Amino acid sequence: MSAQGGLVVEGLHKSFGRSDVLRGIDLSVAEHEVVCLIGASGSGKSTLLRCVNLLEPIDAGRIVVNGEEITAPGVDVNRVRRGIGIVFQAFNLFPHMSVLDNVTLGPRRALGLPRAEAEAEARDLLTRFGLAEKVDDYPDRLSGGQQQRVAIVRALATRPRLMLLDEITSALDPELVAEVLEVVRGLAREGMTMVIATHEMGFARDIANRVCFLDGGVILEQGPPEQIFTAPREDRTQQFLARIIAAGRM
């Protein structure tokens, strides 16, 4: 693995049928940097994250993760994905597995760790995230906040150097949002490189080193959170933030 961490996206294009979702994304994220993606629904935030995790084939451009071009032909996608953790809006836990099995699936089957070792590590991680008592429970017995924390632990269990968070609090009841965001803050403090698509503007302002505003499939404006949230340069950014404020979300 290269010592050069972080993520570089160049000229990324992606369309679904006739709808061009991403129309030339250029983004570079340094190691230990936290970048928040904001923008209206349909602006391409989720698609960008899914492309970076190679869950969607891209039409044009290149993506470099930890110094390796992962969009090059012949790259082992399974190996690449082990180095990138992704957490989804709808948790996507495996309902037929206990919390422990959800977390150990990646380490055991993708990394090839022996069961005992994978379970010991999973228990440590779950304990760190306040889930020690839920180890043997099935996902449907957990609250939404707990499920999403398990999903974060599951993504961390393959020891990724880059985490992609796709609107991870959008499906949660308001009172459960804080516990999940606290976990993400902890990851940021530990220096995890993260790209976070979010509608939680207060959180983005708080945690991001840089905020990118996506509009019409491109990054229309980016900068430090203070600048984006208090003095946005682009009209579209101003309009978007005005709508967010009108909705009482900031």
Partner 1 sequence: MAAPDPGRRSRILQGGFGPLTNMSIALVSTFVFLLVVVLLIVNAPGWETVKQSFFNVGEGRDTFPLVARAFLLNVKMFLIAEALILVFALVIAVMRGLPGPVFFPLRALAIAYTDFFRGVPTILVIYVLGFGAPGLNLTGVPTNPVVWGVVGLVLVYSAYVSEVYRAGIESIHPSQEAAARSLGLSRAQALRFVILPQAVRRVIPPLLNDFIGLQKDTALVSVLGSVDALQQANINSAADFNYTPYLIAAFFFVIITIPLARFTDWLIARERRRRQAGGVA
Q: Which parts of this chain interact with partner 1 (CB under 8 A)?
A: 50, 53, 55, 78-79, 81-82, 84-86, 88, 90, 92-96, 105-106, 109-111, 140, 144, 154-155, 157-158
Identity of the residue, 158 or 222, whose beta carbon is nearer to partner 1 in the bound complex: 158
Minimum CB separation of residue 215 from partner 1 in Å reads 26
| Bridge partners (DSSP) listed for residue 36 | 196, 211
In order of 117, 176, 178, 212, 231, the CA distances from 90 in angstroms are 29, 14, 17, 23, 33
Residue 176: CB atoms within 10 A of its CB come to 18
Minimum CB separation of residue 106 from partner 1 in Å reads 3
**In angstroms, rounded to a whole number, what is the distance separating the alpha carbons of residues 250 and 245?**
5
Identity of the residue, 85 or 225, whose beta carbon is nearer to partner 1 in the bound complex: 85
Identity of the residue, 30 or 105, whose beta carbon is nearer to partner 1 in the bound complex: 105
Minimum CB separation of residue 29 from partner 1 in Å reads 18
Copy the structure tokens of residue 179: 């516990």
Minimum CB separation of residue 231 from partner 1 in Å reads 37
Residue 77: CB atoms within 10 A of its CB come to 11
What three-state secondary structure class fits 204? helix
In order of 79, 201, 246, 247, the CA distances from 243 in angstroms are 41, 12, 5, 6
Minimum CB separation of residue 214 from partner 1 in Å reads 21
Copy the structure tokens of residue 195: 């790209």
Identity of the residue, 25 or 113, whose beta carbon is nearer to partner 1 in the bound complex: 113
Minimum CB separation of residue 78 from partner 1 in Å reads 5
Identity of the residue, 101 or 221, whose beta carbon is nearer to partner 1 in the bound complex: 101
Give the DSSP H/E element, type plus range, for residue 139: none
Identity of the residue, 140 or 235, whose beta carbon is nearer to partner 1 in the bound complex: 140
